[in-house]
Amino acid sequence: MIVLGIETSCDETSAAVVVDGALKSNIISSQFVHVKYGGVVPELASRAHQQLIVPVVEEALRTAGVEKSQLGGIAVTYGPGLAGALLVGLNFAKALAYALKVPYVGVHHMEAHIFANFIEQPVPQFPFLCLIVSGGHTQLVLVRDFFDRELIGETLDDAAGEAYDKVAKMLGLGFPGGPAVDKLAAGGNAAFVEFPRSFLNGKEFDFSFSGIKTSVLYWLRDYQRSNPGVSFAQQPGLLCDLCASFQAAVVDVLVEKTFRAASQLGVRELAIAGGVSANSELRKRMNALAGERGYRLTIPKAEYCTDNGAMIALTGYLRLKSGVSSDNELNAVPNLAL
Ligand code: KG4
Ligand code: ZN
């Protein structure tokens, strides 16, 4: 079965093709229109998706060497995400499926992030504990089988990616900030500032990242007060140290809580997913600790961590293969729960 996957939940327009579950193409067009606003502007995202969806889908089919007439089904993200952005992909998928007389299926964006771990070998063995860290979500999910899972914990305020983006904005590093902070942190001293680690005693599987974001804000304010007129941007060493210190605090909490949960649940198999799982320090620390403590860990290639059509195509393929498809009534669900 040949399945086309379409992803338009935020600011990436992406399409991919899988043939019997094997990935043949994955085209991602990132929208740079948001950069000057320091964050995703929903209406601009919708308009950009409208302009990009046809060329991105055509490129995905061309790269895979597949004709539209060969498609056996279409998969599309229907939530969570930005309402207008989701509607562009969903309506496109419905119309194309109707024209080609093939089934289509709405895919849960966070479920697809988990299944990004199945795009390439080696894949996780069930049951496994998955840490999902993206721009809008930070969740620990126990995955018992493809469509059998349990939410173990999640953030009570900001998502990890959101904290990265907000701190990057404070530091004047542009948007999205995660990759920029990651890069600068590599050359910095993580012990420069001891930012707070929020372990939330009593809610041991939940997360909180708003405190650390505020701590960075206060640190910058105090620094500016005691160094009036000094531009932070002109001190690259300081910027690297600050990024490394912030990153160490976030990664400490993510890693520690994941291993604590795995130990309590008696799970020996781990995976990570979502945009922040592209982070070099998180990947390094997860790998090191998994090796040390005897856990098996799967991490998707960076390209499959951030938003992509490949994970949607694969998840849709699994759904369609098990006989599940969507009808024309399906609507976009911006706050779709896991
Ligand atoms: O999964 P994703 O592409 O979109 C959502 O579903 O939200 O995640 C985007 C988030 C952004 O907050 C971005 O800053 C963050 O992932 N991110 C990173 C890195 N690459 C992307 N955060 C830290 N380090 C990175 N290398
Ligand atoms: Zn995502």
Q: Is 276 in the pocket of ligand 1 (CB under 6 A)?
A: yes
Q: What is the pLDDT of residue 3?
A: 98
Q: What is the pLDDT of residue 321?
A: 97
In the chain, how many domains are there?
2
> Phi/psi of residue 274, each to 5°?
95, 165
Rounded average pLDDT over 41-68: 97
pLDDT digits (tens, 9 = 90+) for 133-149: 999 999 999 999 999 99
49 and 132 co-located in one domain: no
pTM value is 0.96
Residue 22 to residue 125: CA distance in whole angstroms: 18
pLDDT digits (tens, 9 = 90+) for 220-275: 999 989 988 887 777 889 999 999 999 999 999 999 999 999 999 999 999 999 99
Q: Is 179 in the pocket of ligand 1 (CB under 6 A)?
A: yes
143 and 162 co-located in one domain: yes
The answer to whether residues 9 and 81 touch, using CB atoms and an 8 Å cutoff, is yes
196 and 66 co-located in one domain: no
292 and 179 co-located in one domain: yes
CATH number, domain at 30? Answer: 3.30.420.40
| pLDDT exceeds 90 at position 176 | no
Residue 129 to residue 328: CA distance in whole angstroms: 34
- Label residue 267 exposed, middle or buried (CB < 10 Å: 0-12, 13-18, 19+): middle
Q: Which of 28, 31, 134, 167 is the best mutation target for the ligand 1 pocket, counting ligand atoms within 8 Å of the beta carbon and taking the most?
A: 134
Is residue 330 assigned to a domain? no
Is residue 30 assigned to a domain? yes
250 and 142 co-located in one domain: yes
Is residue 269 assigned to a domain? yes
Is residue 289 assigned to a domain? yes
User: Which of ligand 1's atoms lies nearest the C-alpha of 182?
Assistant: 24
Question: Cα dihedral angle (151, 9, 88, 84), rounded to 10 degrees?
Answer: 90
Q: Is 178 in the pocket of ligand 1 (CB under 6 A)?
A: yes
Q: Whose CA is nearest to atom 10 of ligand 1?
A: 135
Q: With pLDDT > 70 as the criterion, what percentage of the chain qualifies?
A: 100
Query: Mean pLDDT in the chain?
Result: 96
Q: Is 304 in the pocket of ligand 1 (CB under 6 A)?
A: no
Where in the chain does DSSP place strands (E)?
A: 2-7, 12-19, 22-30, 73-79, 104-108, 128-133, 138-145, 148-154, 269-273, 296-298
What angle separates helix 236-265 from helix 178-185, to the nearest 10 degrees? 100
- Label residue 69 exposed, middle or buried (CB < 10 Å: 0-12, 13-18, 19+): exposed
Is residue 144 assigned to a domain? yes
What angle separates helix 210-226 from helix 160-170, to the nearest 10 degrees? 10
Q: What is the pLDDT of residue 202?
A: 80
> Phi/psi of residue 313, each to 5°?
-60, -45
8 and 68 co-located in one domain: yes
Q: How close are the terminal C-alpha atoms of the chain, in Å? A: 27
Q: Is 307 in the pocket of ligand 1 (CB under 6 A)?
A: yes
Enclosing domain of residue 238: 123-299
Task: Tell me the residue length of the chain.
Answer: 338
Residue 55 to residue 47: CA distance in whole angstroms: 14
pLDDT digits (tens, 9 = 90+) for 70-118: 999 999 999 999 999 999 999 999 999 999 999 999 999 999 999 999 9
User: Quick one: pLDDT band at residue 32, thresholds 50, 70, 90?
Assistant: confident
What number of helices (H) and strands (E) belong to the chain? 10, 10
User: Which of ligand 1's atoms lies nearest the C-alpha of 177?
Assistant: 14
